Structure 1
């Protein structure tokens, strides 16, 4: 990862209703290990955060000016500090208009990962920490609290510039701090929701379950493929990247690398070519399996309560939507 530009400003907003006070950074953050560590730690915390939205810019307007300012900076019409300064002024105005009390340090960072450029914008709070002096005395210091980021967005600049039809080049946190706070920050970014991450992830898992059923895989093989899918998807979530159907298809089967992708393309699942992984949904996806006295049962977690009903008191399973192959065998046996 290479940090190209970064700047930090401070918005002092107290809960007593007094106007916010904005302290501008006088220069960009100089190149240092501390700066690079800050960006690295932010990305790790951001990638691990649950509950993200994915979207794209509203058309540039007076209500949503950020994309225009960003485009001007990228085209060389302004430097990064000027871009961050005018952006944080707009952020502060929205904060005042919304009557919100959440100030903090406004972090702006343009960095490059591989061949892809990103822009981070986040409002980071301070937290107290205890350190030790050289004289072995305890001392309380303030630090940027990267473990509890509440308001943040990451823009895939390369995707925005090279694929203007994309609807998922912006990701933003959708935390539990309240709808009003989330919407105010999303309005500042100028983002509109484009991809439903949890919904897309559920659709992907449904497609995978249908694929496993259509292939008539054995229990062990089905479990291995399930583990492979979840492992790949979780890795993508950890590094903040989308699931791509073609890559997932290759991971699932080296011998038939196009099999899953072609299966999905031949059905009406409504899946995008790249899917933002939702960790909560993935964590719930696993297979229940059991074998005893000639009976072998295996089904995916998401079927519980729909295709499979469990009666805990009676210790029974009720199966619905039986596979056609199984139904045909039962009919022949009953004839």
Structure 2
């Protein structure tokens, strides 16, 4: 990751208050070890946090205004660079200031703007940072000081500028964003500030999740039997959550699998990372499609004379079902050898 521009402003607001002040920097922050460390920490938190994905709000009518944040990007981000990153960030911070004035319950914080390149694509991270008190020992005395709170992302958005600015790019998922877990009336201001809308597509999302689960098993080098167990467990767990009308959240599913099937020193959060990475870009919360979800199942049946078991991946490929008849086009080599004797 190569940082190109970075700047911090302070949006000052207390809870239960509509007064909002802006302390804005006049120059960009230096791209030094501290900036790189903070950027790295934020990106690591992005990759291990349940995110929603989407795009800038689409105009319903031709004369409807473009979201203000997107208008600022159109003005300042030209030919893969910011003409004036300071002016852009100050204008955006003022937009946030205005949105906060309509959210009495919300608190302010430091707003971080970071333009960087990752794997050849331009990104912009916009993160509302808060501080926390921590203890340190100073000449054998305990003392408190404020530190950036990176334990969790409160409000954050990451925009793939390359996808957004490419007229030939059809992606509806160039924004990944995290909205805090507080009540909607407290957090709504940040979504309005960015002007983003979630993108959901039940069938495509579920199909992608099935691929992620299989990739998860391959990444952890599970044997075939364990892979089938994991796939069945995902199907069962999602079906159970759906029956309870509970949200299907990728971060919860990732934790569930890690806890149940990984050793203590194994790599954690891999399912969440790949499902919300560049390849799939899934929302943290999805609505499962039953037909696609069934691809995780293994079909099993037996009577006193016959036992059949096959992966759902084979259905309508080498195994075909029609009105009580099952046709197998390609049988296992060892079975074929027995039959040929």
1:164, distance to aligned residue in structure 2 (A): 4.8
User: Does the 8 Å CA contact 2:6/2:31 hold for their aligned counterparts?
Assistant: no
Q: Which structure 2 segments of 5+ residues have no match?
A: 214-223, 235-253, 258-268, 313-319, 328-341
User: Does the 8 Å CA contact 1:237/1:277 hold for their aligned counterparts?
Assistant: no
User: Can you list the C-alpha shifts for 1:68-90, whole angstroms capped at 9, x where unaligned?
Assistant: 21122222774111111111011
1:299, distance to aligned residue in structure 2 (A): 7.8
Name the CA distance, whole Å, in 1 between partners of 2:19 and 2:212: 53
Aligned-partner SS, 2:325: helix
C-alpha RMSD of matched pairs (Å): 4.3
Name the CA distance, whole Å, in 2 between partners of 1:97 and 1:62: 20
User: Does the 8 Å CA contact 2:179/2:191 hold for their aligned counterparts?
Assistant: no
The residue number in structure 2 matching 1:201 is 205
The residue number in structure 1 matching 2:72 is 69
1:1-335 equivalences in 2 (<5 Å): 1-17=1-17, 19-58=19-58, 64-75=67-78, 78-133=83-138, 135-162=139-166, 163-196=168-201, 200-205=204-209, 220=225, 223=228, 235=270, 237-238=272-273, 240-243=276-279, 274-276=280-282, 278=284, 324=321, 327-328=324-325
The number of residues matched between the two structures is 265
Q: Which structure 1 segments of 5+ residues have no match?
A: 210-218, 244-273, 301-322, 331-335
The residue number in structure 2 matching 1:251 is none
User: Does the 8 Å CA contact 2:53/2:281 hold for their aligned counterparts?
Assistant: no
Name the CA distance, whole Å, in 1 between partners of 2:143 and 2:307: 65
Aligned-partner SS, 1:324: strand
User: Does the 8 Å CA contact 2:53/2:174 hold for their aligned counterparts?
Assistant: no
Aligned-partner SS, 2:177: strand
Change beyond 3 A, Cα 1:23–1:222: closer
Change beyond 3 A, Cα 1:10–1:275: closer
The residue number in structure 2 matching 1:249 is none
1:238, distance to aligned residue in structure 2 (A): 1.9
- What's the TM-score, normalizing by structure 2? 0.63
Aligned-partner SS, 1:141: strand
Change beyond 3 A, Cα 1:287–1:128: farther
1:40, distance to aligned residue in structure 2 (A): 0.7
